[in-house]
Amino acid sequence: MKRKKLVAGNWKMNMTYDESVSLIEELKQISTNDVDVKIAPSFTNLNNAVSLLSLSEIEVIAQDVYLEERGAFTGEISIEMLKSVGVNSVIIGHSERRKYFNENDFILSKKAKTAIDNSVNIIFCVGEELSEREKGNHFKLIKNQIICGLFSLDTEQIKNVVVAYEPVWAIGTGKTAENYQIQEMHEYIRKLFDDKYGSDISRQIRILYGGSVKPNNAEEIFSLKDVDGGLIGGASLNFSDFNAIVRAANG
Range of the domain at 192: 5-250
DSSP letter string, 14-27: ---HHHHHHHHHHH
pTM score:
0.96
Angle between helices 138-150 and 105-117 (to 10 degrees): 40
CA–CA separation, 126 vs 90, rounded Å?
Answer: 15
Specify the number of domains making up the chain: 1
pLDDT number for residue 2: 86
Question: What pLDDT tens digit does each residue of the chain (251 aa) get?
Answer: 689 999 999 999 999 999 999 999 999 999 998 999 999 999 999 999 999 999 999 999 999 999 999 999 999 999 999 999 999 999 999 999 999 999 999 999 999 999 999 999 999 999 998 888 889 999 999 999 999 999 999 999 999 999 999 998 877 676 768 999 999 999 999 999 999 999 999 999 999 999 889 999 999 999 999 999 999 999 999 999 999 999 999 98
Domain containing residue 27: CATH number: 3.20.20.70
- The residues annotated as belonging to the active site are 94, 166
d(CA 230, CA 203) in angstroms, rounded, equals 18
Q: Buried b vs exposed e over 46-73: b needs ≥16 C-beta within 10 Å?
A: bebbbebbeeeebbbbbbbbbbeeeeee
